[in-house]
Structure formats: C-alpha cells, structure tokens
Amino acid sequence: MTFPEYPKSSYLFDGIMANLVPESMAESIQQFLTIENLYLSATREIATKLENLNNEFKYCSKRNPIHNIETRVKTPLSIAQKLQKRNLDLSVESARKNLTDIAGVRVICSYIDDIYRISDMLLSQNDIRLIETKDYIKEPKPNGYRSLHHIITVPVFLSTGVEIVNVELQIRTIAMDCWASLEHELAYKLADMKTEAISDELKICADQIVDVDNRMQNLFNNILSD
C-alpha cells in the first residue's frame, strides 16, 4: 500500500502513528493536518481583531496599548501526547472536544490597565464567546506567575461552512511576560535541581516586577492627568 507524500515535518506525527494501523495512518495524518489549519485560522481571526483595536487606539488616542501579539498552534504530536496523558481517544474529534488550548494567542500590553481594556473590548464583540476566565493578575499563582487567561470561541468561515473554534487567550504586560519567559527557561534547564531557595528567589523577582508594573502605571496615569 502506498501513502501520499507529506512534508519533512511529518516526524511530528510519530506519536500518532505508533497507535494506528497502516490502513488508517494516511487518513489520520490528513485529519490532523486539517485541524491544524483550522486552529491556525482561528488564531489569525483573533490576531486580526486585536490588531484592529490597536490601530484604532493609534489614530484615536495616539498610542498603542498592545506591544506585541504572538500566536501558536500545538503540533499534532503535542496534541497526541496530551490526549494520551489524559487517557483520551487519539482522534481529531477527541482533541476538539477535550482540549481548549490547541490554539493560543498571547497579547503583550504596555500597562496593567491596558490588559483589562483590551480584554473588555475583545469580549464585547458579538462573535466572541467567553468560556472561562482565570485572572492570575488579581490572584497570582504560588510561584508568582501573573497573566489574564481566557478561553474563548471564534467562528472560522470555511468553504464547507462555519466552525466554532476554541482559543486560549493570554494577556499580560511586558514585565509579566519577561518574568514568565525567564522562569520557563530556568525551570526547563534546572528540571529536578530546582530548590526551595530558587523558587523563593523567583517569587521575589515576580513581586518586584509587579511593583515596577504598578509604578509605571501610576506614572502613566499622572502624565495623563496633567
């Protein structure tokens, strides 16, 4: 039996193919490629909405509340590993039903108030539906992590109709993102070597960063009030 040729990146499907019989391999790979495109489209929809809001501020308020927008879609291998970890069926249908973070959009804002301003404006749009919110700014994680998280849905218009797709949205300041990125890198490098003293130091750094965020917000507010 012959199979269609796929890009060299097909190694991403190793975790999927190990659980498939040859007859279903090509079909399953195509299904996961299709879902990858669907979620890529969802991130583009959200990114475009955010860019439009940012541009409106540029022309109406002469400033940009959004510093940067990042998007990502989990690879088919990452999806498969997460399904396997939860002992869920290894299928596109199972992924769409059980995983809410296949598509992700991260918004980096200049100031804390901008986080909630952008959040409110995006969520007020008629085609965006809020599923879940976790506010790690008002209630930080024990390690000091801060960010506003939403699970939202957005319609994606395809040739075959409209698909409603989940997207994980993270909104944070430049300072919060800096800490999160460095903490993630350190956690990866340290692995099992991470001690209580290191955790305490990271928490102290997080608290210092939020203090800087608050001071910068106050400076900005004072400038506006002058």
Enumerate domains of the chain plus CATH numbers: 11-175 (3.30.460.10)
Q: Tokens 């986080």: give the residue.
A: 115
pLDDT range class, residue 25, cuts 50, 70, 90: low
Q: What is the pLDDT of residues 32-87, one digit of tens each?
A: 777 888 999 999 999 999 999 999 998 888 889 999 999 999 988 888 889 889 99
Q: What is the pLDDT of residue 120?
A: 97
Q: How many CB atoms lie within 10 A of CB 161?
A: 8
- The residues, ordered by sequence, that sit 6+ positions from 52 with a Cβ below 8 Å of its Cβ are none
Strand-pair category, 129-135 with 103-109: unpaired
Q: What is the pLDDT of residues 141-175, one digit of tens each?
A: 998 999 999 999 999 999 989 999 999 999 999 99
Q: What is the pLDDT of residue 26?
A: 59
**Do 92 and 27 touch, CB atoms closer than 8 A?**
no
**Do 29 and 10 touch, CB atoms closer than 8 A?**
yes
- The pTM of this model reads 0.83
- The residues, ordered by sequence, that sit 6+ positions from 34 with a Cβ below 8 Å of its Cβ are 92
Better pLDDT: 130 or 2: 130
Backbone angles phi, psi at 161, to 5 degrees: 140, -165
Q: What is the rounded average pLDDT of the residues 214-223?
A: 92
Better pLDDT: 223 or 120: 120
DSSP 90-104: -SHHHHHHH-S-SEE
Q: Tokens 């949205």: give the residue.
A: 169
